[in-house]
Structure 1
Amino acid sequence: MCPRLLLLGLACVAAHAAAGPVQLRLRERTVVVARQVRLADVAEVRSAPPALRAAVENLDLGPAPRAGERVRWGAAAVQRRVRGLRPEWALAWDGTGEVVVEAASQTVAPPLLVTAAEDAVRLALGALGPAAQLRQERLPAVPPVPRGRVGLLARPLDREQALRRQVAVVVDVAVDGQAEASVVVPLAVAVPQAVLVARRALSKHHVPGCDDVEVRPADRAALAADPAVADCRLLAGRLVQPLAPGEVLLSRQLEDVPAVAAGDQVSLRLATAAVVVEVRALALADGSPGQAIGVKPAAGMAAVQARVLAPGLVSFLEN
């Protein structure tokens, strides 16, 4: 080694030794803003060589407590931790027997969480969203979070999840981009919508019209499925089940009217190369054009198979 460098190194060590140990005084209580605890957070650096002070103050002692929590660090434990990290430092300690370490925290205003949840419900409802009436069931319990820039993100819902009278929306809370908490926001949902209800009892396979139904207000969130179109003039189809007086007509309770329905009187066409004959017959099953169904001719003949050609018209099928 160069003699000059060796002399300089010895001079630095001598100067450090001459300056004496770093004087530290353990604090009684400290509030930590950052996510890590520095030595300066738990101890006051009363004297230190200028070149060493910044390193002493910024020594990382480990993660801070969770937001809003308090922990007690004993003086001996703090000293062991520092000695383990920087055994070369000469330190002199003073102060209390322990320090109470508390993480600085903030509370997210519950109305902000409710707004985020309501926006998620309206988004999931689509066209029904603007008309939806949302009410918070109770203010959500919000845990404290670290200080910093707060971000709220409601977990997405599908339409079926949002179309309920009671909806629980989970809102994730992040601080400075780091996830900190998840809060459940309960909402009561009502969606006013005009619907058609039966004026009287309607039987299965009845084709409802304007004389059978009337418009009334209803809460879509209370219905088991989407209602039928509210304009009776646009109704198409027949009932798949009976409808009681005052019952809401749902879209799933309607099906396409078949070209031929069981019990219909139809024309049964029998064709040969030279002649075409049509006789009356009774349809034994529903059928759409192209489907084969059983029919019973009115002339007392046995039931035969026929292919549906059009409404009220079938063609004999030979075996």
Structure 2
Amino acid sequence: MMRWFAFFFFALGLSAMPAMAGVVMSLKTDAVVNAARVKLSDLVDIDAESHQQDEPLIKTMAAVDMGNAPLPGYSLRFSRKEIERIIRASGQVKAIEWRGAEAVKVERLAKVFDSTQLAIAAESYLKQVLGNGQNQVVVETAERLPELLLADGKVDIKARNLSRAEAMHARVTVWLDVTVAGMFSRSVRVPMKVKVMEQTLVAKRDLLKGVTPACEDLLVLEMDIASLDGAALPADCSKLKGSLKRNIPSGTALTQNYLQLSNAISHGDTVNLLFSSGALLLESKALALANGEVGQRIQVRPAAATETIAAIVVAPGVAKVIGN
């Protein structure tokens, strides 16, 4: 009889203990998030067969980080297997009873961004790069900009650096980097049409190859220098250097492409040849055997020598022995 009573009270005690049932998760078919990171609670509805005892666990599991949210306009797919792997890797090993879908599609809550702000940003940047206070810069978008979807948050737009030479074309592409709430969102290509009305030098008459243009050969006219074949020259004829590499017809803008700058050293010149000897810098005369600009390598023949040596042009009429 005593044994029977003992067994009865032991069984009664077991029945009074809380059930150790697992967590029930119902996987959604679709989910929309409004944050940069996806949480488990975004993907599943979590319940427990014994909610009171499991409530702390439920809150912990709901906050499990599942990774980056997709960019607006894109989606991600999470399968049950992948979700369970992430949960277990987080240290939450409670048994899971799955219900609902086999996988969930995740999208980012987004809003349509006014693309005119992109055009304004690109126009403003090009005017800043190309303007000099004396010219007129006219820029406009060359194509209709696509619809841009962005997440909620403060939007900042920054143009990637362009040099004046890179921007000085009739058509140019400005790349804009867009950030939302301080986080990079995407880069946008903005094709632009450019006009830069500026005074430049124009041939007054037909000029032949080899001629060094003089002020009486030129006019100063306002033209769209962004459409020229080559970099426009300052509208000051007194500063021109070099001769024409090819004929230039009357009425044509004189660009850098037409000019052949005078060589720092020409073939047959007698040059000052520098070379080092210990702490001393010595100088002698040599015959240049080729034309050369500053920084170019040429062959020279030192005075009273029969062999040639290599030298670097360091200034007009001056070369330095290589490796010396």
TM-score bracket relative to the smaller structure: 0.5 to 0.7
Work out the CA distance in 2 between the residues paired with 1:217 and 1:251.
Answer: 17
> Normalising by structure 2, what TM-score?
0.60
Deviation at 1:25, TM superposition (A): 2.5
- Unpaired runs of 5+ residues, structure 1, are 1-13, 257-319
Question: Could you tell me which amino acid in structure 1 is paired with residue 30 of structure 2?
Answer: R
**1:176 lines up with 2:177 in the alignment:** no
Asked whether 1:57 is paired with 2:62, we answer yes
Q: From 227, 231, 245, give the equivalent of 1:225.
A: 231
Distance 1:15 1:118 in 2: 75
Corresponding residue SS for 1:151: strand
Aligned-residue identity in percent: 27
Uncovered stretches (5+) of structure 2, i.e. residues with no partner: 1-14, 262-324
Query: Structure 1 residues 146 and 240, CA, compared in 2 at 3 Å: closer, same or farther?
Result: same
* Code of the aligned partner of 1:96: A
Alpha carbons of 1:95 and 1:225: their partners in 2 closer, same or farther (altered >3 Å)? closer
Q: Please show how residues 1-319 of structure 1 align to structure 2 within 5 Å.
A: 17-18=18-19, 20-47=21-48, 48-49=51-52, 50-127=55-132, 131-141=136-146, 144-202=149-207, 204-205=211-212, 207-209=214-216, 212-223=217-228, 224-229=230-235, 235=238, 240-241=243-244, 243-250=248-255
Which is worse superposed, 90-99 or 150-159? 90-99
Cα distance change, pair 77–127 in 1 and its aligned pair in 2 (3 A): closer
Taking structure 1 as reference, are residues 165 and 128 closer, same or farther at Cα in structure 2, changes over 3 Å only?
Answer: farther
Residue identity in the other structure for 2:214: V
For 1:56, what is the secondary structure of its paired residue?
Answer: helix
TM-score using structure 1 length: 0.61
2:132 aligned counterpart, secondary structure: helix
Residues 1:19 and 1:114: Cα distance change in structure 2 (over 3 Å): same
* 3-state SS in 2 of match to 1:188: strand
Contact 1:35 1:64 in 2 (8 A): yes
Contact 1:124–1:156 (8 Å) recurs in 2: no
Q: How far off its partner does 1:187 sit?
A: 0.8
Bigger Rg, structure 1 or 2: 1
Alignment partners' CA distance in 2, 1:95 and 1:146: 28
- What is the CA deviation profile of residues 100-140 of structure 1, one whole-angstrom value per residue up to 9, with x for unaligned ones? 22233344432222222222222221406872111211134
Alignment RMSD: 3.6
User: Distance in 2 between the 1:19 and 1:103 partners?
Assistant: 37
Q: In the comparison of the two structures, how many residue pairs are matched?
A: 238
Partners in 2 of 1:239 and 1:63 — Cα distance?
Answer: 60
Q: Is the 8 A contact 2:156 2:179 kept in 1?
A: yes
Assess if the C-alpha contact under 8 Å between 1:140 and 1:183 holds in 2.
Answer: no
Q: Structure 1 residues 235 and 92, CA, compared in 2 at 3 Å: closer, same or farther?
A: same
SS at the partner of 2:126?
helix
Contact 2:71 2:185 in 1 (8 A): no
CA change 1:72–1:158 in 2 (3 A) is closer
C-alpha contact (below 8 Å) 2:135/2:197 kept by paired residues: no
Cα contact 2:139–2:195 (8 A) shared by 1: yes
Q: Take 1:100 and 1:239, find their aligned partners in 2: how far apart are those partners?
A: 67
